[in-house]
Structure 1
C-alpha cells in the first residue's frame, strides 16, 4: 500500500483517472472492432461459472491499471486476512467468517485460539437431524399430528437468502421433502403471516424464528402473533395441551443469542446456533439455511456449501489476473469511480433466480453503502452504486426502455444457465422446453449486444428517426452457469460476496457492519414509544407530529366505529 494515502490519492488511482479521460469517449463497438479476441481476453471460467467481461468499457491497459490499484490496496493480503479469520470487521472488532461455514469437516481454522470448524459441523449435524425428523413425519405437533407447514419468521439476511435459494433450487426437492411445505413471513405489518394463519392448522404448523440478535422487532412481532395463535387454539380448548408442550413442539430458534432464545421459551433441543462473526446477510450457509435444507434435503444443502467453498479456494489461490471475484470487482470500480456510472441492474434470465436481484440488493448496498473509511474519514469518492433488478424477460417489458434510450448510464449483469430441461422424460415436452430455454438465452445475449452496439446492432437500411435510435455503449457483464445446480448456485453467491469484499478493500470501508440499519431500528423503537404514550411528541419535527396526529385521528375514528351496529347492519 502507498502509506496512509487515501485510495484516490494512490498512484494507480491517479493513473486510472488519466487513462479514463481517453476511455470516456471510447465506444464499445469500436473496442470490439479493434480486437477479435475480446471474449478470449476478458472471460474466465471456474467452479461451473463463465464470467464474460468483454462488454465492459475497458481495454487491456485499463485492466492492468486496475490490477495495480488492487495491489496498492493490498487485496491479496486482505483475502488472506479474511479467510484466515483475522478481525477484518474493524468497527466491531471481530472476524467475518461466513467462509468458515462452508469449510469441509476435515479442515481446520484456528480463531482466537480455538478451531471453529467442529462447532460449524456440530450445528450442521443438529440441523440435519431436524430435517430428517420433519421429512420422516416424525416431528409431531402438541396434539400428536405430524407437522405439515413450516413458516420461517425472519427479515433481511434471515429471509432473503433462504427465500432466494429455496426458489432457485426448487427443482432439487427430493421425494422425502414433499411431506412438508415451507413458507416465509418477513413483513412486520403481519400481512404475510395473517394469510398463513387463516389457512393453516395450528396442530400441524411449526415456526422457525430466525434472528441473529433475537431482538429484531419485525421478526419478534410476527413471532408473538404466531405464539398467541397457537396457544389460544391449542391450550385450554379441550386438547389437554400445556403451554410448554406447544412451545417445545411448534418452535425452532436460530440465533447467535441462546440466552434470548431461552427467554422466549424455545426448547434447548430446538435451538440452532450461529456466531457473531457471521453477518446476517452472509448467514444462509449455516443454521439460517434450515429452510433450504428442508426443501432441498441436506445432501443438496451440502452441495451448495461445496460450490461456495470451491469459489473460496479459487478466490484464495488464483492470481489476480485470473481471479473471478477480483475481476468482477474491478469492473465495478472502473464503472463507479472512473466512468461515473452509479446505477447497476441485476438481470437473471431464469425464473428460478427470481429473488437473486433482491438478495444482491442487500448484500451489496448494506455491505458497501458506506461513506466513511476504516479510519473514520469521509470518503472523497463514490462507493456502492444503486442496485436493482428483476428477471430479465420481465424487465424487458418494464425498465429496459431506460437502459436503451434513457439519460442514465447503467451497468448490467446478465445471468443465465447454459443447460436446462435435458432431463425431462417426455420427448415432446422436453423439446418444447429446450426451445423455450434457447429463446430465453437469445433474448439474454441480444439485449447485452444491443446495449453494447446500439444502432450498429440493427441491420435495417436507411436513416433511423431519432426516436428509434439507440446510443449503445452501456457496459455489461454476463455470468453463465454450466447448469443451475446447488454447486453452481453456491459458487455464484460466493462470487458476489467476494466481489463486495474486494471493492470494500479498495474503497477502504468496512463491508461487515451496518450502523445505518441499526440507527433505523433505534429511531423506530423511540417513535413507537411516542405513538403509544404521547411522551416526547413535542420534541418531534413538524412533519412527524402531523403524521402522528393523523394516525391518532384514524385510530379514534376506528374506535368510534366499533360501537353498536347501525340499523342497516353496518
Structure 2
C-alpha cells in the first residue's frame, strides 16, 4: 500500500500550500467579506469557527478529496459496525457502542453487545442508587460517603476530567458522596488522602482493564492495609466486600484479588483505555452526577456519533477539525498544538486530550508496517486560557514557533445565579478568549498605529486558531465535545494510515521497570545494565544505606 504522501490528493495539497503560503490570515479576511459565515459550522450544542485558520474554501475541498482518497467513508462504517479496525491487536474499537441507545443492536462475535452494555449500565445504576440512598454500608454499618477511584491513564483521566468539569451538576441524592482520584505509583496522592478520610465510610473503586496494572494494584494493596489497620475487627473477605468495587475486563483477576462478583462492573477488550470513560470506568462520574447525569453525557456523545457517521465531510465537525489539523501539520509544518479552554471547569481537559491524541496517533509506522515519511501527531499541551496568558502566551505571540490553537468556551454561564458580578466575570472571560484568538490570528494589523511600534512590541499573528463555543457546559455538551475529539483523532489516523487504537510504545518501559525492580530490592545483586543505569542504582543504594 503506497504511503499517503505519494497520492494525487496529497500532491495537490502540497501545490496548494505553496500557492497560499504567502497569505496572512488577515489577508484572507480582507479577500472574503463572508469568510466567517462560510467557515463556521454547528451541530447540537457546539459551534466551530475555522475562519481564523490559514486556509480557504479551496483548501477544504482539496482536504475533502484527501479524505475520499483515504476511503474515510468506509473506515467510519468499519468503526461503527464492529470491524477489526485495531489491526495490530485484531480487535474492534467500539467505544461508540457504549453510548448507543438501548433499542439499537450490534452483533459482534455472536453477541449483541448493545444488550450487554445496557445490562452493565443497569448493574451500574443499582450500585449508584444503593450508595446514593445510603444503603451501601462499611464495616461499622455506617453509610459510605466517600469514593476513591484508583486507576491510571484512561481509568483516571476521563472520569477525573469529567467530574471536575461537571461539579456544578452534582447529584441531589439523599446521601451525596465526595469523589477523589488516585493515580500516582509513588503513593504520594494516596498517603495524603488517607490521612483525611474515615475508613469506615470510604469505598475504593479499582479501575483496571487487565487488573494487572502495577500502579493500580500497589495503591489498592496500600488502601486495603489502611483499612485493616483502622482498629475494627472484621474478616478480610468482609472488608473487601464492603469497601472495594472492581471495574475491569478481567473479572477472574478481580475475584482472585478478593472482590465478589456482585461488586464487579465489566468492560470489554474492544474498549480502549483512553476511550473508556463511557463504560463502567465512568462509575465515579455516575456517582458524582447521578446515573441520569451520566446517561446525559452518553446521549451527547451519541449525538456526535450520529453527526459524524451521517454528515457530509464539508459539514462534519470531527472531519473538518481533523482535516484542518492535517493541513497545519503536513502542509504548513506546524507541529505544536495548544488546547486553551477559557473555563476553569475544563482545567483537566488539556491533560485528557494529551493522552487521547498523543497515545493514539503518536505513531511512525503505518498499518501496513511502512515507516511514514511525514509528521503525524503534534505535541499537545494546554492550560486554562486566562492562566496561560500569564504563562506561555509570550511564545505564542512573539516566539519562533508556529502553534495551532483550540479555544474552547461556553456562551452561557451564571444565567440563573442572579449574580451580576459573576456574569460580568464571564463576559470578561469571553472578551479575553476572543481577543487572544483575534490577536494570534490577525496580529497587530488590527491596531491603527502598529507600524510605529518598535520591533519588540510587534505581533506577527498568523497563528491558526479554531474556536469551539458550547451553548453551556453540561453533561450533554461535554459528551458532544469529547466525542468530537475522539472522532477527530480517528479521522487523522485514517488519513495517515496508522492505527490509533494500540499503544505498543508504552509497553516496553513497563517490562524494563519490572527487570529493574529486583536490582533495587537487592542491593547486593550485580546489575547488568548500561553504565548510566548501573551508576544510578549504586547512587540510590548508597543514599539508602546512609552512605555519602
Other-structure match for 1:470: 459
Question: Within the alignment, does 1:25 sit opposite 2:22 as a pair?
Answer: yes
Separation in 1, partners of 2:242, 2:60: 57
Q: Superposition pairs for residues 285-324 of structure 1, below 5 Å?
A: 285-324=278-317
Matched, 1:105 2:98: no
Q: How far is 1:305 from its partner?
A: 0.2
Name segments (4+ residues, structure 1) moved above 4 Å.
Answer: 534-537
1:305-333 per-residue CA deviation (whole Å, 9 max, x = no partner) reads: 00000000000110111110000000100
Secondary structure, in 3 states, of the residue corresponding to 1:303? Answer: helix
Structure 2's unaligned 5+ residue stretches are none
Q: Deviations over 1:219-251 (max 9, x none)?
A: 111011001111122xxx4x4411111010000
User: Is 2:134–2:174's contact at 8 Å kept on the other side of the alignment?
Assistant: no
Deviation at 1:460, TM superposition (A): 3.9
Aligned to 1:48: 45
SS at match of 1:501: helix
1:527 to 516, 526, 529: 516
Q: Report the CA distance between 1:37 and its aligned residue.
A: 1.1
Measured against aligned partners, the alpha-carbon deviations of 1:518-558 in whole angstroms (never above 9, x if no partner) come to: 12211111111221235875421111111111111111119
1:368 aligns with 2:357: no
The separation in 2 between residues aligned to 1:154 and 1:535, in whole angstroms, is 34
Partner of 1:154: 151
Counterpart-to-counterpart distance in 2, 1:95 and 1:161: 21
The alpha-carbon deviation at position 195 of structure 1 amounts to 0.9
Which runs of no fewer than 5 residues in structure 1 stay unpaired?
Answer: 561-570
Query: Matched residues in 1 for 2:235 and 2:251: separation?
Result: 23
Matched, 1:379 2:372: yes
Aligned partner of residue 45 in structure 1, secondary structure:
strand
The offset of 1:458, in angstroms, is 2.3
Deviations 1:410-441 (A, max 9, x none): 000000010111111xx3x2x11111111101
**C-alpha contact (below 8 Å) 1:12/1:69 kept by paired residues:** yes
Give the Cα–Cα distance (whole angstroms) in 2 for the partners of residues 141 and 178 of structure 1: 14
Per-residue Cα deviation, 1:486-512 (whole angstroms, up to 9, x for no partner): 111000000000000000000000000
Preserved contact between residue 519 and residue 527 of structure 2 (Cα < 8 Å): no
**Please, what TM-score do these two structures have when normalized by structure 1?**
0.94
Q: Hey, what does 2:64 align to over in structure 1?
A: 67
For 2:525 and 2:368, the matched residues in 1 are separated by: 35
CA distance in 1 between counterparts of 2:321 and 2:174 reads: 36
Q: How many aligned positions are there?
A: 548
Q: Distance in 1 between matches of 2:464 and 2:526?
A: 50
Query: How far apart are 1:197 and its partner, in Å?
Result: 1.2
2:114 — aligned with what?
Answer: 117
Deviation string, structure 1 residues 257-314 (Cα, Å, up to 9, x no partner): 0011011101110000000000000000010000000010111100000000000000
Q: 2:396 aligns with which of 403, 417, 421?
A: 403
Distance in 2 of aligned mates of 1:177 and 1:530: 52
Cα separation, 1, equivalents of 2:161 and 2:174: 18
CA contact (8 A) 1:348 1:416 kept: yes
CA distance in 2, matches of 1:251, 1:10: 54
TM-score norm. by structure 2 comes to 0.98
- Equivalent-residue separation in structure 1 for 2:519 and 2:56 (angstroms): 57
Q: Secondary structure at the match of 1:54?
A: coil
Of 225, 228, 234, the match for 1:241: 234
Q: Hey, what does 1:552 align to over in structure 2?
A: 541
